[in-house]
Amino acid sequence: MPTARPTAHPTAPTVRPRRRRRLALIGLAVAVVVAVLVAAGAIVFARGALSTAGQVTFDRELAIPPLAESRVEADGTRVFALEMQEGTTDLGQGGPTPTLGVNGSFLGPTLRAERGERVRVDVTSSLGETSTLHWHGMRLPAAMDGGPHQMVDPGQTWSPTWTIDQPAATLWYHPHLHGRTADHVYRGLAGLFLVDPGQGDGADAADAAHDDLPGDYGVDDVPLVIQDKSFHPDGRLDDAPPLFSAVGVLGDTVLVNGTPGPYLDVTTERVRLRLLNGSNARVLNLGFTDGRDVALIASDGGLLSEPVRTDRITLSPGDRAEIVVDVEPGERAVLRSHPQDLGTNPVTARFSGGDDTLDVLELRAAPDLAPSGDLPATLAGAGAEVPNVASATATRAFSLSGQSINGEQMDRGRIDEVVEAGATEIWEVTGRDDMVHNFHVHDVQFHVLDVGGEAPPLDLQGWQDTVYLQPGRTTRLLVTFGEHTDPTTPYMYHCHVLLHEDFGMMGQFVVVAPGDDAPERIEVPDDATHPGHDAAGDGTGPRRTHLDH
Ligand code: C2O
Ligand code: CU
Ligand code: CU
């Protein structure tokens, strides 16, 4: 019967080809899925690198932060008044952006005081939430530091006072409320504090070297607070991290002193630029697009021993440097942040901004330039000759990984390290997780002894308070601590990638008189009065760092 064959062999001749077809279809589907994933991965990876090279129309004059007014009281104390406030600012978004500022709607004025001067800053808050104001890079008593323990509540005034006791330098201030630092800085709370050289009897060779440097504020001595931001379509600041970012927000818009697309009219043959990386997470690799050399004259903590010619300045978040740039009459020169080797694996580097290119600022030289003096050959500041290595009395190791230092997250009630006043120590700091971290220590300026056993690069041979951590390579710091003792008020050390800091990558040290003890735990203020603060006080409950709206 013609119909018998199929029933005689019910499966073999018909199902085998069917199974093959099914297997082939499954194989095809898998191949398609893999191809789509690979393509998507490639697209995501490719889009992970950002470039604004040649796309920024430098059409706004660079804003210069105003100098903060001050008065000198009868006892010689120079007094500043700062008010943290809310406002709206034109950040080039076609309408006002809600922002925070100090004595204004965005960023704050530049404070200036001389080495040796006594200062007081009356910090008032008209914010709707608790914050703090920390003097980054300043040597001062811990209770004046403005860290997470010196909270300023809405409507309150906090008045730290101290005597400036360190070389002339470009320092800065910013909030440091535990768990909210990234948010408060991102929305605009930051400004510069310039320590000026001492005069008269106390002045040394480094102080004197400043006389031969460009020093006309806003003319040939120009601060550049560099920050990357991103925006929602309606103009509000957007602090959402890009896809796969482990460092938090990486913006596509660079603001300099709050100015988008800025140009600076240069009227002198040389201009000194005081650079601050005020970004939350982005490491900057600054250089001019024409590859010209600049003279690096100062690092975080003041002048170098002599000018260093270089075409690149790397600044991790919180870092400062001062450079002197020569210009030709009538020319234009563009400062750019170039792609860089962050030392991580390529995927982490890509999603941490390492491959990004961002145009920063255009210098526009006038057709006739006022003459500038020659740069001094020596600056008499800090250099390759590191003093006192043999005098180090302790070595401490700090291992950064995940959201922890030495396996612990920030606990405001825990004293992690006790240091003797005036002691010199070696701190060995290592980022262990192949991610982007840096390391900042309050109250001190340190020397970088070596990085992975090798001499530090030229741009790390001066005083630093913040240093990028090459992943997996130990950075050894020689740190001399101050004389201000306080066994129950700690200073901080932490990663200055602000999201990491907020998540708890921070520890606390106290400075005590030699031979004195400090408690293992201290009282922390009642957090019930500080909404948005870490209720557990132990860093286990990091708050959302996204803006709340
Ligand atoms: Cu710039 Cu602990 O801070
Ligand atoms: Cu600091
Ligand atoms: Cu970090």
Confidence class for position 545, pLDDT limits 50, 70, 90: very low
pLDDT of residue 267: 98
Quick check: CB of 318 below 6 Å from ligand 1? Answer: yes
* C-alpha 234 – ligand 1 centre gap (Å): 31
pLDDT, the chain, mean: 92
- How far apart CA 352 and CA 435 sit, in angstroms, is 8
Confidence class for position 7, pLDDT limits 50, 70, 90: very low
* C-alpha 267 – ligand 1 centre gap (Å): 35
* Cα torsion angle, 362, 363, 366, 368, sign: negative
CATH code given to domain 391-529: 2.60.40.420
Atom of ligand 1 nearest to the CA of 492: 2
Atom of ligand 1 nearest to the CA of 506: 2
Confidence class for position 14, pLDDT limits 50, 70, 90: low
Atom of ligand 1 nearest to the CA of 501: 2
Quick check: CB of 442 below 6 Å from ligand 1? Answer: yes
Q: Per residue in 487-500, pLDDT tens?
A: 999 999 999 999 99
CB of 183 within 8 A of CB of 501?
Answer: no
* C-alpha 176 – ligand 2 centre gap (Å): 8
Q: Which of 287-301, 472-486, 527-541 has the lowest mean pLDDT?
A: 527-541
Q: What percent of the chain has pLDDT over 70?
A: 92
Closest CA to 501 of 136, 87, 257, 72: 136
Q: Which tokens in the block code for residue 496?
A: 């200055």
Q: Per residue in 520-543, pLDDT tens?
A: 999 997 654 444 444 444 433 333
- How far apart CA 40 and CA 332 sit, in angstroms, is 40
- Over 70: is that where the pLDDT of 184 sits? yes
- Closest residue to atom 1 of ligand 1, CA basis: 136
* C-alpha 28 – ligand 1 centre gap (Å): 55
Atom of ligand 1 nearest to the CA of 137: 1
Atom of ligand 1 nearest to the CA of 494: 2
Quick check: CB of 320 below 6 Å from ligand 1? Answer: no
* C-alpha 172 – ligand 1 centre gap (Å): 9
What secondary structure does DSSP assign to 418-449, as a single string?
EEETT-EEEEEEEE-SSS-EEEEETT--EEEE
pLDDT of residue 170: 98
Burial of 539 (0-12, 13-18, 19+ CB in 10 A): buried
Q: Could you say which ligand is closest to the alpha carbon of residue 444?
A: 2
- Domain residue limits, the chain: 391-529
Q: Could you say which ligand is closest to the alpha carbon of residue 494?
A: 1
Highest mean pLDDT out of 198-207, 501-510, 528-537? 501-510
CA 314 vs CA 112, 283, 342, 354: distances in Å: 25, 7, 10, 12
Q: Could you say which ligand is closest to the alpha carbon of residue 402?
A: 3
* C-alpha 496 – ligand 1 centre gap (Å): 7
Quick check: CB of 134 below 6 Å from ligand 1? Answer: yes
- Closest residue to atom 3 of ligand 1, CA basis: 136
pLDDT of residue 533: 45
CB of 62 within 8 A of CB of 263?
Answer: yes
pLDDT of residue 446: 97
Q: Per residue in 420-474, pLDDT tens?
A: 999 999 999 999 999 999 999 999 999 999 999 999 998 899 999 999 999 999 9
pLDDT of residue 309: 97
* C-alpha 1 – ligand 2 centre gap (Å): 94
CA 494 vs CA 236, 442, 532: distances in Å: 29, 9, 21
Quick check: CB of 136 below 6 Å from ligand 1? Answer: yes
* C-alpha 445 – ligand 1 centre gap (Å): 13
Atom of ligand 1 nearest to the CA of 172: 1
Confidence class for position 169, pLDDT limits 50, 70, 90: very high
Q: Per residue in 50-89, pLDDT tens?
A: 999 999 999 999 999 999 999 999 999 999 999 999 999 9
pLDDT of residue 384: 67
